[in-house]
Amino acid sequence: MSTTDDRTQRRGKPRGMRRDRDCRTCKTRAVKCDLNRPRCLPCVQAGLACGGYPQRVVWTGETSTSAKPKQRSPPQLSKMPVPTEVDATLVVEIPTRVERASCIQIDDRRNDSLHTEKNSFILRLAAFCQHIKSAEGRTSDSGRYLSVEAIRLVSRLYDFMQARIESCPTDALTEGETSESVDVARHRLAALMELNEALQTANPFAILGIAAFAVFEVSDSAFGEWQCHLYGARSLLDCHCQSRPELDQLSESVIGLKEIVARLVWFDTMGAVVRGTTDLIFDDWHRELLNDTFFDAVGCPADTFQLFVDVAKGEAASDPLGSCFRAMDQLLQLDSDNTAWKRCANANRCAAALAVLERVSDETTTSRRLAILSAVNRICEVVASTPRSSPFHMHLASPVYLAGMNSTTRQHCATVRTYWLDCDLAGVPRYLGSLGRFEDKWRAKGLA
């Protein structure tokens, strides 16, 4: 076969996996990485967990002239990001057959922290996918949108989530190896291709795919930088529902829709608080989906979440006195009850107070300094008393992040450092590279 023919056959396939990029920790710290594996020298010298090296997919830019494009009339999705992957080195064959997958099984003997993962949102998404694939899911009212393409998307997403969860052996994580395996990369590509197809027709079942990639974005990317998938989810929802009644009606056809939107709204709010921005993506009527059941699951009181929302809207800066009173009220509501939920609720109340105090003024006063110290102390107490196996451990991330940015003692630093290292060692590692931000800030304060 000629060289030209050979190139034509390879069109549209990934070129392979590139590993010549800085590790996540070095990127976060904005330092030059020496690309050494499994741990680079800058991370070793700084005493940090190496964030691992990205493996993404680069697609050839050529287009076969013989291929006929599909005739579609897709709706215009404002701000809709097309899910793409860049950088790769291994050629991956995308399976074309929709395969049945058994329920995700997690071996508890691998790591005690996997008990936490059983309460995680990614397993809820997997359960939704499994239900949709079942006979019950196919014969329900979801038939209006549950096309062959949607079922194929659900199947690919399920395989990807299962591969991602099962690809985290404890030994590899202990050595700092966080790179994506070949099997996970293959399933990721397959899921992305099907998600692209679903987005072309604005099929509402694509929300499952957006949510799955958003969850892993929360796990893998810089802490708080989750907007891309949230904009996509909002744009997709806008194609089908502009009000709560319309969303309620759509949820009758799309299994798990309300729970998915509620979690994305949570990511939206907490991400804005962590970033210190006022760029909320979802509206107030979307936030109405966060009910008592949701707050029970994440360990955050409803009034505390509302304060987070108001901070994210910029109301703390516009009404500093009123916001300070609300922050103090959160601190006054701290409970001595030692149950797991109460401890997490206390941490979130302190985090809300910190979020307000960070935004109302840069002026250092004795009262402000003491309030911040009190809030950080309480968060650190909660973190120190919450085992990694607790279902609320993962939901302490935002409070711990705000505590880390406001740490004033070496004991604060040690507690925050332990939490983020535990996240790196979790059954599904989370918040990779975030510790580097704290280490640089602590070093500048003379606390490292």
Of 370, 389, 390, 368, the residue nearest 378 (C-alpha): 370
For 84, the domain range is 74-290
Q: What is the dihedral of CA 119, 165, 305, 256, to 10 degrees?
A: -80
The band of 163, judged by pLDDT with boundaries at 50, 70 and 90, is confident
327 and 311 co-located in one domain = yes
- Checking if the pLDDT of 334 tops 80, the result is yes
304-319 average pLDDT score: 92
First-to-final CA distance of the chain: 62
Q: What's the rounded Cα separation, in Å, for the pair 433 and 436? A: 6
423-437 average pLDDT score: 71
The band of 108, judged by pLDDT with boundaries at 50, 70 and 90, is very low
- Checking if the pLDDT of 237 tops 90, the result is yes
Peptide bond into 38 cis (omega under 30): yes
Q: Residue 443 sits in a domain of what CATH number?
A: 1.25.40
Q: Is 59 helix (H, G, I), strand (E, B) or coil?
A: strand
Range in 82-86, 202-206, 338-342, 443-447 the model is least confident about: 82-86
In a domain, 9, yes or no: no
Range in 273-277, 284-288, 354-358, 439-443 the model is least confident about: 439-443
Please give the residue that has the higher pLDDT: either 54 or 416. 416
Last residue of a domain, one of 242, 272, 290: 290
51 and 119 co-located in one domain = no
82 and 161 co-located in one domain = yes
* Total domains, the chain: 3
249 and 276 co-located in one domain = yes
Of the CA atoms within 13 Å of residue 262, those in its CB half-sphere come to 20
> Cα dist. 400→218, 288, 302, 418, 419 in Å?
15, 26, 19, 10, 8
Please give the residue that has the higher pLDDT: either 76 or 444. 444
Task: Give 3-state DSSP helix, strand, coil % of the chain, rounded to 5.
Answer: 60, 0, 40
Q: Residue 47 sits in a domain of what CATH number?
A: 4.10.240
The contacts of residue 412 (CB under 8 Å, 6+ apart) are 376, 377, 380, 403, 404, 447
Place of tokens 């107490």: 381
Last residue of a domain, one of 290, 311, 345: 290
Of the CA atoms within 13 Å of residue 187, those in its CB half-sphere come to 24
The band of 348, judged by pLDDT with boundaries at 50, 70 and 90, is very high
Please give the residue that has the higher pLDDT: either 310 or 67. 310
- Checking if the pLDDT of 135 tops 50, the result is yes
pLDDT number for residue 226: 79
52 and 120 co-located in one domain = no
In a domain, 7, yes or no: no
In a domain, 408, yes or no: yes
49 and 90 co-located in one domain = no
238 and 92 co-located in one domain = yes
97 and 130 co-located in one domain = yes
Last residue of a domain, one of 272, 290, 308: 290
- Checking if the pLDDT of 172 tops 70, the result is no
In a domain, 122, yes or no: yes
In a domain, 271, yes or no: yes
pTM surpassing 0.75? no
pLDDT number for residue 48: 74
248 and 278 co-located in one domain = yes
251 and 315 co-located in one domain = no
Of 321, 317, 318, the residue nearest 329 (C-alpha): 321
Q: What's the rounded Cα separation, in Å, for the pair 125 and 339? A: 28
Taking each helix axis as running N to C, give the angle between helix 227-238 and helix 257-275, from 0 to 180 degrees, rounded to the nearest 10: 140
Please give the residue that has the higher pLDDT: either 436 or 432. 436
313 sits in the region (left: phi over 0; alpha: psi -120 to 50; else beta) called: alpha
87 and 24 co-located in one domain = no
258 and 346 co-located in one domain = no
In a domain, 63, yes or no: no
- In the DSSP assignment, the letter for residue 179 is P
In a domain, 6, yes or no: no
The band of 179, judged by pLDDT with boundaries at 50, 70 and 90, is low
The band of 424, judged by pLDDT with boundaries at 50, 70 and 90, is confident
- Checking if the pLDDT of 248 tops 90, the result is yes
In a domain, 231, yes or no: yes
Q: Return the top range by mean pLDDT from 59-68, 124-133, 141-150.
A: 124-133
Q: Look over the chain and give the mean of its residue pLDDT values, rounded to a whole number.
A: 76
Place of tokens 């860049």: 86
